[in-house]
Amino acid sequence: MRRETVLNIVLALGLLAVPLAAQAMGEPFIVTLATKVAILALAGVGLNIALGLGGMVSLGHAAFFGIGGYTMAVLAAPVQAYEPLMTWPFELSGTKSMPVIWLAAMVAGALGALAIGALSLRTSGVYFIMITLAFGQMLYYFAISWPAYGGEDGISIYVRNGFPGLNTLDPIQFFALAYGVLMAALMVSWMLARSGFGLALAGARQNPARSAALGIRPYSVKLTAFVISGAMTALAGALFADLNRFVSPSMLNWQTSGEIMVLVILGGVARLFGPVAGAALFILLEHWLGGFSEYWKLFLGLALLGIVLFARGGLIGTLAGREVAHD
Amino acid sequence: MSLMLLIEQALNGLQYGVMLFLMAAGLTLVFGVMGLINLAHGSLYMIGAFACAAVAAATGNFWLGLAASLAAAAAAGALMELTVIRRLYARDHLDQVLATFALILVFSEGTRWVFGSFPLYLDIPRALAGPVRLPGGIDYPLYRLVLIGVGLSVAAGLFWLIGRTRLGIRIRAGEADREMIGALGVDISRLYTIVFALGAALAGLAGALVGALQSVQVGMGEPVLILAFVVIVIGGIGSIKGALVGAILVGMTDTLGRFLLPIAFSTFMERSQAMSVGAALASMLIYILMALVLVVRPGGLFGRA
Amino acid sequence: MTEPVLEVRDLHRAFGALKATDGVSLSLRRSEIHALIGPNGAGKSTLIGLIAGNLKPDAGQVLLNGRDVTQADVAARARAGLARSFQVSAVAADLTVLQNVVLAVQGARGQSFRFFRPALANADLRAAAEAHIARAGLSGRRAIPAGDLAHGERRRLELAMALALAPRVFVLDEPMAGMGPDGAREMTALLDDLRHEAPILLVEHDMDAVFALADRVSVLVSGRIIASGTVAEIRADAEVQRAYLGEERLE
């Protein structure tokens, strides 16, 4: 077995074992932290489809994360206020059901990614980075100035949304849900990378001109990947909002984009479990460094600088070596 | 009355635009010459503002503060280039994004550590305080007028520098062909440091000048940085002329949009609703402008191809 | 006489004041190798770009099997059977030889939007790819990343990928470039065999190969075709000799 595979299994089991042990020892806070790791990792798995597989350096994924979060709030807020979601052109009520919310979040994220991607992919390189960053910022300002959904203050959802057959208010059960979604997303990402589409995407990333001469439109292939990526990150956003029972424009902030990207890189770009390792490391650092300094992000910045300049390949790259699958 | 208000807003837009130009000029030079995307350019803006506020507070002299902002930002820029940035020229854009994102964290948290989380305040120098009467009877703040003048002078100076001086020739040569200028015997690494420090000084200047209008606080640089990106996308990478036109376009569109859209909406909407819809749409206007430019000219208005 | 497989009619393309393609017409008939030669800067790359669809002409038409494809993009022309190889070996360097060719096969079949089935587990795709790899003489190298191949091997990989498009027309841009004498000889034999699969528009600097293979030769100078005919006719053409020997500086 390749070292990376072993590492992946260790990560998957570790992320499961830590909260179970914490639950047994009566430490619900650690369970919540593990849930946060799972959800941020999910956002990273989404970004990694664009970044790792498609080579699209998107600094605007907070847009999709936020779209997911706001989709949750928009659907759930009317229920807690005993109002319909809308009355025109037809009456529709909100929902507190997670599966419905997840589906809506993914559709909204996909549509957002389609619009942003269709424009941004007309360019490449630094332009693409700046444009995705700018469109993300546009949604941030829109959320701040649009008063219907809380403006700068955001919206609180007082009771966590429900999932059939589970008590989502119980931390360990909500963790199980987030973990299950993460594993499903990793499965999708794994299949995508090996599929015919994944091959076409690799071709479009490495050599767009050659791909076109083979009858493959790089623009369409990349845009499709960007849409899938946006949908997955939006799903993470919906879960993140449910974890906090709160959404605010800060989910849409450029720093959120930066942090999702950082955790992908910390783990290792284009590595299947890179975002999981990265998210775990990120949350650990936040807690460990945050414990002895209010300015822990200074040290995070220095650590990140060191990793980029000297330890390329991220955590998984460092531990598993630079071998790449060629099966 | 309404026309005077409009002229005042247009001047505000121009002032906003020329300050954006100071940010965008440095960024676009660094893109053009070194092919580097620098997210930490906003940190240099912040450093300029903090240096000016701190020195002005200590000495009671705005002009000493302004000199300090130029010196501090240029020094920080040169240091940044020498320690981190030069290792990134040969790297891909992803590494550049990450390393400069890390620099933002370092600079922001470092500044918070030194100065605390509360904003500093920087007063407009006494000589420039108060309004001035423009032809047509408009009272307009003198300080803002001076900012417009400073911004346009810097723009003229940059055009001269790039177009007429030896340094400018080298910069243009560097944009065209990196190996070529090495062959011509130009010390490239020194050229890069100088260009980077020059861009940093412009960002620091903008931070200090705008700092007197707004509060000086950690995180002030990044929203301006993102706007500067919008400017560059609109103007075209590497083009100083594009940066100037793009910056004024963005400044005007944003300022006039915020002023006019609520008024326009209130002609057919209930007033409070028009205000909120107008404000929300106005906040998106420059990004819509950017999207339009992308559809029509993906390389920007003055971009190459 | 049969209708030409590829036909270019009065193609024009200018870059500013430079007329890179200035009224070019040429045709490619079944089973034929039509060589396009000309000094550097004659406009060969522009012409290939126009034929492949990377560039749009200012005027004129490109017909593939009698169908006007002037407005079609690169991918559409590729799926219509136009296979090109690149002057600079341009394959996806991180992908293996097999992955590159599978990519070409699925591109040609319009099967690039299959999201779940692993590409290499598709026996049909894989068998087709293996056959093309064998034809190009790369069977022993199928698991090697394309970036690690030697130069001549990359040209072969280019060819295997072009074959995978089940082409109606090959447009080959300097397939011999950078090959040693042995490699060039093998490639010449391979191309001679390929013409029965689909006719070849061959851009090549290696005159030995051109004279050995071509049924017809067209000479492009300053964006115009100054001569067109059999190898013997071209060899005897005074204008061609002048263009090659005397006035190349004017380019």
Please give the residue range of the domain that contains residue A153: 29-255
Residue where a domain terminates, one of C131, C166, C201: C166
Rg value, chain B, Cα: 20
Q: What is the DSSP letter of A161?
A: P
Amino acid making up residue B123: D
Residue C36: which CATH number? 3.40.50.300
Task: State the total domains in chain C.
Answer: 2
Q: Which of C76, C108, C113 is opposite residue A214, by nearest beta carbon?
A: C108
Residues C76 and C48 in one domain: yes
User: Is the pLDDT confidence value at B20 over 90?
Assistant: yes
- Angstrom CA distances, A166 to A104, A160, A170, B213, stand at 20, 12, 9, 54
How far is residue A324's CA from residue C149's CA, in Å, rounded to a whole number? 17
Q: Which of C73, C92, C117 is opposite residue A195, by nearest beta carbon?
A: C117
Residue A292: other Cβ atoms inside 10 A: 8
Determine whether A214 is exposed, middle or buried from the number of CB atoms within 10 Å of its CB (0-12, 13-18, 19+).
Answer: buried
Distance from the A187 Cα atom to the nearest Cα atom in chain B, whole angstroms: 25
Q: Tell me, what's the pLDDT at A324?
A: 46
Evaluate whether residue A211 is within a structural domain. yes
Evaluate whether residue A307 is within a structural domain. no
Residues C112 and C161 in one domain: yes
Residues C172 and C197 in one domain: yes
Please give the residue range of the domain that contains residue C10: 1-81+167-251
Evaluate whether residue C53 is within a structural domain. yes
Contact (CB<8Å) C108/A215:
yes
Q: Tell me, what's the pLDDT at C136?
A: 87
Across chain C, mean pLDDT equals 87
- Whether residue C73 contacts residue C53, with contact meaning beta carbons closer than 8 Å, is answered with yes
Amino acid making up residue B282: A
H or E element that contains A110:
helix A98-120
Evaluate whether residue C86 is within a structural domain. no
Evaluate whether residue A4 is within a structural domain. no
pLDDT in tens, A141-174: 999 988 788 888 899 999 999 999 999 999 999 9
pLDDT in tens, B229-274: 999 999 998 888 999 999 999 999 999 999 999 888 888 888 888 8
Q: What is the DSSP letter of A91?
A: -
Evaluate whether residue C33 is within a structural domain. yes
Q: Tell me, what's the pLDDT at C180?
A: 81
pLDDT in tens, B205-223: 999 999 999 999 999 999 9
How far is residue C6's CA from residue B46's CA, in Å, rounded to a whole number? 62
Evaluate whether residue A107 is within a structural domain. yes
For the record, the structure tokens of B204 come out as 């620091």
pLDDT in tens, A53-103: 999 999 999 999 999 999 999 999 988 888 888 877 778 888 999 999 999
The answer, for C243 touching chain A at a CB cutoff of 8 Å, is no
Instruction: Please identify which residue in the block is written with the tokens 């942003």.
Output: A116
Using a pLDDT cut of 70, give the percent of chain C over it.
94
Evaluate whether residue C228 is within a structural domain. yes
Contact (CB<8Å) A57/B101:
no
For the record, the structure tokens of C179 come out as 């090959």
Distance from the C205 Cα atom to the nearest Cα atom in chain A, whole angstroms: 22
Evaluate whether residue A296 is within a structural domain. no
Q: What is the DSSP letter of B40?
A: T
With left for phi above 0 and alpha for psi between -120 and 50, is residue A115 left, alpha or beta?
alpha
Residue where a domain terminates, one of C139, C166, C193: C166
- Whether residue A275 contacts residue A234, with contact meaning beta carbons closer than 8 Å, is answered with no
pLDDT, greater one: A286 or B152: B152
Residues C243 and C133 in one domain: no
Residue where a domain terminates, one of C166, C192, C225: C166
Mean pLDDT of C166-191: 86
- Whether residue B276 contacts residue A147, with contact meaning beta carbons closer than 8 Å, is answered with yes
Distance from the A79 Cα atom to the nearest Cα atom in chain C, whole angstroms: 37
Q: Tell me, what's the pLDDT at C248?
A: 45
Residue B63: other Cβ atoms inside 10 A: 13
- ipTM for the complex shown: 0.90
How far is residue A82's CA from residue B235's CA, in Å, rounded to a whole number? 49
How far is residue C67's CA from residue C7's CA, in Å, rounded to a whole number? 9
Residues C102 and C59 in one domain: no
For the record, the structure tokens of B173 come out as 């040569």
In three-state secondary structure terms, A82 is coil
Residues C227 and C157 in one domain: no
Residues 10..69 of C with a Cβ closer than 8 Å to A: which? 52, 54
pLDDT-derived band at B179 (thresholds 50, 70, 90) equals low
Residues listed for chain B = 305
Rg value, chain A, Cα: 20
- Whether residue A74 contacts residue A149, with contact meaning beta carbons closer than 8 Å, is answered with yes
Residues 215..254 of A with a Cβ closer than 8 Å to C: which? 215-217, 221, 224
Evaluate whether residue C6 is within a structural domain. yes
Contact (CB<8Å) C108/A210:
no
Question: Side-chain half-sphere of A175: how many Cα atoms within 13 Å?
Answer: 22
H or E element that contains A170:
none
Quick one: which of B266, B256, B262 has its CA closest to B280?
Answer: B262
How far is residue A321's CA from residue B152's CA, in Å, rounded to a whole number? 53
Residues C75 and C25 in one domain: yes
Evaluate whether residue A263 is within a structural domain. no
Q: Tell me, what's the pLDDT at B178?
A: 65
For the record, the structure tokens of A306 come out as 């060191």
Contacts for A207 with CB less than 8 Å, ≥ 6 apart: C90, C91, C92, C93
Residues C76 and C197 in one domain: yes
Determine whether C17 is exposed, middle or buried from the number of CB atoms within 10 Å of its CB (0-12, 13-18, 19+).
Answer: exposed
Q: For A293, which residue in chain B has the nearest alpha carbon? A: B113
Q: Pick from A53, A132, A133 the residue to mutate for testing the B interface (most B CBs within 10 Å).
A: A133
Evaluate whether residue C39 is within a structural domain. yes
Give chain A positions within 8 Å (CB) of C54.
209, 212
Q: What is the DSSP string of C121-145?
A: G-HHHHHHHHHHHHHTT-GGGTTSB
Highest mean pLDDT among A125-134, A241-250, C230-239: A241-250
Contacts for A296 with CB less than 8 Å, ≥ 6 apart: A285, A286, A289, A290, B109
Question: Does the bond joining A99 to the residue before it have cis omega, within 30 degrees of 0?
Answer: no
pLDDT-derived band at B111 (thresholds 50, 70, 90) equals very high
Evaluate whether residue A302 is within a structural domain. no
Q: Tell me, what's the pLDDT at C238?
A: 79
H or E element that contains C241:
helix C238-241
Pairing of strands C169-173, C82-84: parallel
How far is residue C188's CA from residue C176's CA, in Å, rounded to a whole number? 8
Give chain B positions within 8 Å (CB) of A269.
94
Evaluate whether residue A311 is within a structural domain. no
Residues listed for chain C = 251
How far is residue A13's CA from residue A28's CA, in Å, rounded to a whole number? 19
For the record, the structure tokens of A117 come out as 């991607």
Q: Tell me, what's the pLDDT at B3?
A: 84
Evaluate whether residue C73 is within a structural domain. yes
Residues C178 and C228 in one domain: yes
For the record, the structure tokens of A140 come out as 């941030």
Q: For A207, which residue in chain C has the nearest alpha carbon? A: C92
Across chain A, mean pLDDT equals 90
Residues C4 and C113 in one domain: no
For the record, the structure tokens of B76 come out as 């920080």
For the record, the structure tokens of A38 come out as 């799972």
Task: State the total domains in chain A.
Answer: 1
pLDDT in tens, C46-104: 999 999 999 999 999 999 988 999 999 999 999 889 998 876 666 788 899 999 999 99
Q: Tell me, what's the pLDDT at A318?
A: 75
Q: For A142, which residue in chain B has the nearest alpha carbon? A: B280
Q: Report the helix count and the strand count for chain C, using DSSP H and E.
A: 9, 10
Evaluate whether residue C50 is within a structural domain. yes
Residues C190 and C251 in one domain: yes
Q: Tell me, what's the pLDDT at A269?
A: 80
- Whether residue A174 contacts residue A34, with contact meaning beta carbons closer than 8 Å, is answered with no
Residues C11 and C72 in one domain: yes
